[in-house]
Structures are given as C-alpha cells and as structure tokens.
Amino acid sequence: MSKLKRQRFDYAKDNVVGVVKSHLRALAPLHSTFLEIAAYLAAHESALGFVLIVDPGVSEARLQQEWQTIVQTIRQDIAQRMSLFKYEKEAYQGWPQDPEPQVRIHLDAALNALPAVIRTTQLPRPDYYSIILKILIQHCLTRTPPAPLTARLIGELAGCSFPTVKSALDRLNHLLRKAPGGGIELKRFPAEEWQALILGADRVRATKRYQDRSGKPRSPAFLIERLAGLQRENVAVGGVTAALDFYPELDLVGSPRLDLCIHAPGRYADLSFIEELDPALQESSDPEAPVYLALHFVRSKESFFTEFANGLKRAGVVECLMDLYEMRLPDQANDWMNALLKHERES
C-alpha cells in the first residue's frame, strides 16, 4: 500500500485510497484521477476510493454534474465504491452522499497529511483603495512608517502597482497635501472615508467569524497563550487585547472574544492554525451566533504588525480601531483615536 501511495495516491490506509486536489480551475483532470482510482479498485475488490477537493473554486452544480458523468463512464460495481467530496468552509459535502463518520476519519487524516499550502483559503481580490486609505490613516495617527510617504513607498507598502496607487490617491486628492518633510500626508483625519471603511470592513478585511461548538468556549487569554506557542509570524493579536496594550487608559476591562489579524498579501492563506488553537472553533455565517474568534485578513504587503512585550505579534493600530468599531465599542475607539490625534498634534 505504501508503494501505491507514493505512486498514485495522496492517501492510502485501511483499504481506502484517496486523492486530494485544491483550488481547481478546471474539472477535466478529475476524470483521469477517477480512472486511476477505478483501476486500483478493480484490482482490490473490497477497497474504497475517493477524491477530495479542498476549496473547489467551482460551483456545487458543476461538481454534481461532473460526478454524474464520471459514474456513467465507470463500471457500476466499481463506481459504487468511489466518492467525490469537497471540503469548504471547514465542512465536507459528498457525492453520492455526504461522508459517514467512519469516512470522515479518512478525510480528516488525508487533509491533515497535506502540505499547508494546499490547506488554504482562497481570498477575494484585495481592495487597494481601502488598503491605501488605511496606510494613510495609519500614518496620520502614528507617523508610521516614519519615512516620507511617497507614491512609490505607498505602492511598496500596499503591494500594488503605481497606476493603482495613483488611482487611489486621485480619489483621495481632496484630503491630501504635501508633507513638510517630503511625500504626502492627510490634511485632516478623513472622517467620512473612515466611516465608509468601517461600514465596509467585513468586505475589506474578508473577516471570518468563529463560533464555539463545545458549549464550553475557551477564553481569549487561553487562545492567546496557545497562539504564542504556535509561533506564527503572520498572525497578530488585535481587538481589545491589543488596544489595551497600545492605550491602557482605554475604558475596557476585557472581551469575550478574540480578534486576530492574519497577514495575507497573496490570494491564499493557511488557516490550519485555527484548529490548532481550538478544534471546537467553527466558522459561522450566522449573525446571531456568539463570536469567540474574529479573523481579519491584512492584505497589504506591509502588515504593520508590532510586538507585545512577550514577543507575540500585535496588530496595527488601524486594525485594532476597526475591531473596536466592529464590536460596537465606538466610544472607546473614538477616545483612543482622539488621544492618538492629540499626541500627533502636540508632537
């Protein structure tokens, strides 16, 4: 079995073989994969085979249609021992049926054995206008980066081309002026644009929210301790924890939820660490469900992460402010922002 696994299959255990694919652009390769599995099943009468597609990138209807085509072209007694599964948003779906618990064990094992690059989440295209606005606000509130904010530097920080920077700066032109030390800066805090950014925060940050499935949610402090142990350089703590670290005078004592930022300038992000934090966390789209972890994607090339005293990554000021607004803590966010602006004026 191990020889077969090396040759053809990503997974082979207990008479079950499987192939895992991710982010499919086309479905044609599925046919040859299933034919390979079929050949193996023909030679092994009691064996089962599956193809697992992680974040397919194609519609459910197309997968269903493809599955029908495949089973029609393969001998019935063999097709009956084959399955197609997709794994998306931390849930399985299958053809001809969703996986039974025994099958799920194999699928979980196949998934866990994959290189991290495949266990990733595909992200929407970055909204560079919003990214550039956030960079300007970060600079306005904290003077970071300290270097003159030129269009070139903005492009480097955002991770986009000069025409994209120019387009965004043209939209924001009425708010910009030449900075005394060179480059550009905001004339004043852009209140209207900030409000629009807050309103569109979910889209801009591609926020994922996680609920607890154990009935015994873990505290943010415990999850932070666990995160520190994972030593993920691209994940930072935001939300109330980071806000209090930046600004201890904030009128807050704690939060029932943890906000994390993941630096994801590319199109994919590896979210396997969520399960390592707590296997009971599950992504939820239910607006009524209590959120125990909110994960925000920082899409700019520069993360603006700093560090807590213990070395753990701390999300940037703008992300933390957005977290407070999202948690419906506008008074605290405004207090902190006013303190930042006052400090900037005085310095």
Partner 1 sequence: MAEITPGDVLKAAAQAVPVDCLANIIVIGSLAAGYHFFGENRDMQIRTKDVDCVLNPRVEAMNVGKNIAESLLQAGWEPKFADGMSGPGTAETPDEKLPAIRLFPPESKSWFIELLTVPETEDQRGREWTRVVLPIGHFGIPTFSFLSFTAYHPHDTPHGIRYARPEMMALANLLEHPEIKPAAIGELFEGRKIKRSNKDLGRVLAIARLSHDSDLQLWPGKWEEALQECFPSQCRQLRKAAGSGLRALIASEVDLEQAVWACNNGLLASKPVTMEQLEFTARRLLQDVLEPFEAGEI
Residue of 280, 301, 341, 344 that binds partner 1 (CB under 8 A):
280
Torsion, CA 321, CA 324, CA 328, CA 332, rounded to 10: -80
DSSP annotation of 51 reads E
Phi, psi of 82 (to 5 degrees): -115, 150
| 215 sits near partner 1 (criterion: CB under 8 A) | yes
Residue of 278, 302, 319, 323 that binds partner 1 (CB under 8 A):
278
| 232 sits near partner 1 (criterion: CB under 8 A) | no
- Whose structure tokens read 């039974």? 100
Residue of 218, 257, 296, 314 that binds partner 1 (CB under 8 A):
218
Beta carbon of residue 255, minimum distance to partner 1 (angstroms, whole number): 18
What's the sign of the alpha-carbon dihedral 104, 110, 116, 122? negative
Peptide bond just before 96 cis, omega within 30 deg: yes
Residue of 6, 216, 328, 345 that binds partner 1 (CB under 8 A):
216
Phi, psi of 129 (to 5 degrees): -60, -50
DSSP annotation of 83 reads E
Number of residues in contact with partner 1 under rule CB under 8 A: 16
* 3-class SS of residue 43: helix
Q: Which residue, 234, 190, 208, 201, is CA-closest to 322?
A: 201
**Cβ nearer to partner 1, comparing 46 with 102:** 102
* 3-class SS of residue 72: helix
**Cβ nearer to partner 1, comparing 21 with 218:** 218
DSSP per-residue string spanning 306-329? EE-TTS-EE--HHHHHHHHHHTT-
Beta carbon of residue 110, minimum distance to partner 1 (angstroms, whole number): 15
Beta carbon of residue 218, minimum distance to partner 1 (angstroms, whole number): 6
**Cβ nearer to partner 1, comparing 219 with 338:** 219
Residue of 102, 285, 310, 347 that binds partner 1 (CB under 8 A):
102
Beta carbon of residue 215, minimum distance to partner 1 (angstroms, whole number): 4
**Cβ nearer to partner 1, comparing 73 with 231:** 231
Residue of 29, 181, 182, 279 that binds partner 1 (CB under 8 A):
279
Binding residues vs partner 1 (CB under 8 A): 101-102, 104-105, 213-216, 218-219, 222, 275-276, 278-280
